[in-house]
Structure formats: structure tokens, C-alpha cells
Amino acid sequence: MNTYHPDVQRPDTHSKIMGYLLWIVGFTGSHRFYYGKPVTGTIWFFTLGLLGIGWLIDLFLIPSMDREADLRFTAGTTDYSVAWILLTFLGVFGVHRMYQGKWITGILYLLTGGFAFLGVLYDFWTLNDQISMKNAQRG
């Protein structure tokens, strides 16, 4: 049974700095995807951050989203911020998958444009869980 102890510090899995950098373009939902909120990330993407209102509110919610992500995801040798930068800027080339040691799908992404971008969309929804599972297996 997992018991929460308030005086025990959880490892920092996500970065507030990265969250705020992604918030700058947060009307696309990028910071919400980063913190493991794919449903609202998708809503932000299609509504431009709830017409900018949700985007502005998120400026103040990032610290709590960061704490929640630190509690939810497993820290380890695979860094969430590095993986998210690779996915965001090089996702269609599969570099984020190669970084995780998933060489076969990484090469397939490279040859197919991220499975015609559908694989990249899948990874936007699941990257945090993929890394968390990988880090838990190593621990």
C-alpha cells in the first residue's frame, strides 16, 4: 500500500521552467500535454486555449500541475523534459523514441514521417506514461 508522507520529497519529474516555456505557446495545449493532461491539451489545441481565457488562467495553475505530475509520474534516467523537447520539435523523425531506446519504432517514424503523423499524435497523448513505465522498470 502506498502511503503519502508530506515530509518526504518526491523526485522532480517535470520542470516548471519547461512548463512556462510551453505555456508561451500554451494556447496550443502544449503545456497541458507536458504535464500529463491530454484531454484538456486537445481541447486547448482546438479552442486556442478556450479562446485565451483558459490559457491565461493556466499561468497561475502551472505550479499545481507541476506538483501533480511529480506525484503521478516516476522519476528515473529518462528525462521527461528532454523527451518532450524531442517529441515537440523532432517527433516525425522518431528521435524521442530513439532517446527512450525504442529503436525499431524510432526508425519506422523516421522512414514514415511519424507513421504519417498519427504516431506522433499518439505519443503526445501517452509520452509521460511511456517514460514513467520505463523509469519504473529500471528502478
Phi and psi for 113 in degrees, rounded to 5? 65, 45
For residues 132 and 84, the answer to whether their CB atoms sit within 8 Å is: no
pLDDT of 27 > 90? The answer is no
For 69-109, how does the pLDDT look when each residue is reduced to its tens digit (9 = 90+)? Answer: 999 999 999 999 999 999 999 999 999 999 999 999 999 99
Cα(19)–Cα(62) distance, integer angstroms: 7
Question: Helical H runs in 25-79?
Answer: 30-34, 38-51, 53-72
pTM (2 d.p.): 0.86
pLDDT of 26 > 80? The answer is no
Model pLDDT, residue 28: 86
pLDDT of 32 > 50? The answer is yes
For residues 127 and 91, the answer to whether their CB atoms sit within 8 Å is: no
Across residues 7-28, what is the average pLDDT? 86
